[in-house]
Amino acid sequence: MATPQASHSHSADVKQARYPLRAREEPAIVQADDGRQGLDRALQIAARLQTTLEVDKLIAIFAQEIKSSVAYHSMSYQHPEQSLEITLGEVARHTCSYRLVVNAQFLGQVVFTRKRKFTHNESQTLEGLLCSLVYPLRNALLYREAQKAAFRDPLTGINNRSTMSVTLRREVDLARRHDMPLSVIMLDIDRFKSINDNYGHAAGDSVICAVAEAVGTCIRSSDMLFRYGGEEFAIILNNTGPGGAVLLAERIRQAVESAGCAYNDAVIHFTASVGVAFLDSKDDDELLFKRADDALYQAKAEGRNCVRLAA
């Protein structure tokens, strides 16, 4: 087995086996601490980790529990594919890192740091203790994915209607509390029924995805995009007044008009009508949304492919 070096990373895979944590370099068996005592400690930690399915809390519990076995200055957990990066403590010079894999599924990487080198026995202890983390961590990651899926539109991958209701209520409360501007944009694809009638529903789905992509290229990372209905979208713009919201709405309208959608041998062109509303003193979340929706239907009534601001 490779030994962790002073300032170098030591990588270990966690596999489902009788002795689940092994180094990649050779299949030597690793025991945590000293025999039965180390196993009992790992089981105690595993029991503590069963109390949550939230990844950040899980990592915090694990980090606290193992301090009595191996001293360290910081512990970090990264999972780039899940956009997870958690660091606890103050990062120091010497590192000991482990790549976590179970049944060929990558669960992320854990890195410990401290001011003095980790010994060989300490690295073995950490490897053994990590056995107690991998299965609770896998469950937490699966739960996180299920939660994300519940709030995502399966066709476009953007936020769905359920998420919008919760988010708009929260953003209105925050805007009121901090005296910040808030705007909502509603967008509807013009004459969408004729697209389905002329090209089929699969083509309609492609157009919806093309619109979501076009809108996504225009908005900021802080803006929130939702598929509200079949061909209707909503965008919540925090810290944005009516002037900025109308400018963005016009940019979105132009992007949608220019997008086009290749389907089979045809290129489908489409436009969108857009309504904008700005949070004022009499609005709650429902009224703000209704005013944006009314502005959208005003845009449709006045010729489509245009932007209208709610009165």
Please indicate, yes or no, whether residues 137 and 240 belong to a single structural domain of this protein: no
Q: 220 lies in a domain?
A: yes
Q: What is the pLDDT of residues 96-150, one digit of tens each?
A: 999 999 988 999 999 999 999 999 999 999 998 998 999 999 999 998 888 777 7
Q: What is the pLDDT of residues 175-189, one digit of tens each?
A: 999 999 999 999 999
For residue 265, what pLDDT is reported? 87
For residue 43, what pLDDT is reported? 82
At 85, which CATH number?
3.30.450.40
Please indicate, yes or no, whether residues 128 and 203 belong to a single structural domain of this protein: no
Which of the four pLDDT bands, split at 50, 70 and 90, describes residue 199? very high
Q: 270 lies in a domain?
A: yes
Q: 289 lies in a domain?
A: yes
For residue 86, what pLDDT is reported? 96
- Residue closest to 58 by CA, chosen among 68, 66, 69, 49: 49
Instruction: Mark which of 120, 149, 178 sits at the end of a domain.
Output: 149
* The dihedral formed by the CA atoms of 60, 61, 63 and 65, expressed in degrees to the nearest 10: 160
Tell me which residue range forms the domain holding 123: 12-149
How far is Cα 146 from Cα 248, in angstroms, rounded to an integer?
Answer: 32
Please indicate, yes or no, whether residues 174 and 249 belong to a single structural domain of this protein: yes
Neighbours of 307 (CB within 10 A): 24
- Residue the block writes with tokens 């045809």: 266
Flag whether pLDDT at 25 surpasses 50.
no
Q: 6 lies in a domain?
A: no
Task: Provide the β-strand partners of residue 128.
Answer: none
Instruction: Mark which of 121, 149, 177 sits at the end of a domain.
Output: 149
Please indicate, yes or no, whether residues 276 and 181 belong to a single structural domain of this protein: yes
For residue 37, what pLDDT is reported? 65
The number of folded domains in the chain is 2
How far is Cα 220 from Cα 236, in angstroms, rounded to an integer?
Answer: 11
How far is Cα 73 from Cα 261, in angstroms, rounded to an integer?
Answer: 53
For residue 38, what pLDDT is reported? 64
Instruction: Mark which of 95, 127, 149 sits at the end of a domain.
Output: 149
84 versus 8: the higher-pLDDT residue is 84
For residue 85, what pLDDT is reported? 95
6: left (phi over 0), alpha (psi -120 to 50) or beta: alpha
Which of the four pLDDT bands, split at 50, 70 and 90, describes residue 231? very high
Which of the four pLDDT bands, split at 50, 70 and 90, describes residue 35? low
Specify the range with the lowest mean pLDDT, choosing from 113-117, 151-155, 169-173. 151-155
Flag whether pLDDT at 32 surpasses 60.
no
Average pLDDT over residues 11-25: 34
Please indicate, yes or no, whether residues 245 and 198 belong to a single structural domain of this protein: yes
Among this protein's residues, is 26 annotated catalytic?
no
Please indicate, yes or no, whether residues 294 and 189 belong to a single structural domain of this protein: yes
- The active-site residue, picked from 231, 257, 286, 302, is 231
For residue 145, what pLDDT is reported? 84
For residues 112 and 118, is the Cβ–Cβ distance under 8 A?
yes
Please indicate, yes or no, whether residues 18 and 144 belong to a single structural domain of this protein: yes
243 versus 16: the higher-pLDDT residue is 243
